[in-house]
Amino acid sequence: MQDWLTRYSTDSPGSQQLRNALAQALDQANVSLSRLAVAVSGGPDSAVLAIELAILARQTDHIGLHTGPHIFHVHHGLQATADHWCQHVHDLAGRLQLACHSMHVQVQHTGGTGVEAAARQARYQAYQQLASQCGVSHIMLGHHQDDQAETVLLRLLRGSGPTGLAAMSSASERDGLCYVRPWLHIARETIWTQAQNFLMASGWDTVYDPTNHDDSYTRSALRERLTPGLNARWPGWQRQLARHAQLASQTAQILDEVAQTDLAALDPSGDEASIGLKLWRTLSPARQAHVLRYWLARNGLRAPTQAKLDDIMRQLRTLHALGHDRHMRVRHDGAWVCCHRGRVWVERPDQPAQTR
């Protein structure tokens, strides 16, 4: 590590900015490096994240093959060069003197699920398994300001509300793991400059993923078709959309606080498994919709489409008008949203049918 470290620009403004953001994220996460991993695909963003974290760990005398931090790599098998990418990431880990753990996954994209979403799901499942094996509680991801701006644009095009427009958060929980994104406020250019610095210092180059420029993929299409025009007409638009995500996140937090208060007033069961229909109907239509979204999320279901939400709300209102004993069962996200005798609950396939 020392050979390339003496040639790498650790005192450059870009490197210092990246490492300062890492140090701040580690302080906020309050996690030891032994319980931390970096998800590395081999591309410049995640590779530089591992490089800068290794330098930070070395500067604080917390580094080693058995003490962490760790590198996680997921082999999706979707590219002919996937084996090379995996070996390349292991090579990087060796240069950084970090333990590297890789896992092969099979990406199943049937039943209407796109390959991007299926690969993401498989990746998170692999992270969960690797984390369990290595005693890891936090995983760092190399998303940056440009990624955040692209996510906001995609959410806008899909008609997302304030919660969706908050895009990626600096820290989020999934399957018992905390995912940390320390560089959401840092431009891609800063990170890629450091990738070039590492290449010149060590001879190790990042991998090239052709899907990043294949506009048959949604995010790649945005980069290829929309980004050049936005860059030409509105330079710095990424920074403004990332700022928009911050404001949307604050708005979403306020809305969730309102929904939490509304849910508590709906006479929920102790585990929030059911709510009262009569009390729900006393809310304004906007708050009826938001508390339903919030309640479904609390029960582990994805946010419904606007059409599905409208259908659920229409049926709930009709039930009240028709009488107390009417039944409702609406399919959503592999479960049923049910109502009977004035109670609304979620019923899953592995649960017996019931009335409340």
State the DSSP code for 161: -
Quick one: pLDDT band at residue 356, thresholds 50, 70, 90? very low
State yes or no: pLDDT of 94 exceeds 50. Answer: yes
* Residue 313 neighbours by CB distance under 10 Å: 17
Q: What's the fold here for domain 2-233?
A: Rossmann fold (3.40.50)
For residue 84, which phi and psi values (nearest 5 degrees)? -65, -40
Query: CA 183 to CA 25: how far, in whole Å?
Result: 9
All residues at 6 or more sequence positions from 217 whose CB lies less than 8 Å from its CB, including other chains: 115, 116, 211
The predicted model scores a pTM of 0.83
Domain ranges of the chain: 2-233, 266-347
The pLDDT tens digits of the residues spanning 144-169 come to: 999 999 999 999 988 888 888 999 99
State yes or no: pLDDT of 63 exceeds 60. Answer: no
Q: Residue 136: left (phi > 0), alpha (psi -120 to 50), or beta?
A: beta
Mean model confidence pLDDT for the chain: 88
State yes or no: pLDDT of 327 exceeds 80. Answer: yes
Contact 115, 220 (CB under 8 A): no
* 141 token code pair: 């991801």
- Tokens 């400059």 correspond to what residue? 193
Report which residue type is found at 205.
D
Query: CA 238 to CA 148: how far, in whole Å?
Result: 8
All residues at 6 or more sequence positions from 212 whose CB lies less than 8 Å from its CB, including other chains: 43, 220, 223
* Residue 284 neighbours by CB distance under 10 Å: 9
- According to DSSP, the residues that pair with 140 across neighbouring strands are 38, 180
Query: CA 228 to CA 234: how far, in whole Å?
Result: 10
- pLDDT of res. 64: 52
Query: CA 96 to CA 105: how far, in whole Å?
Result: 25
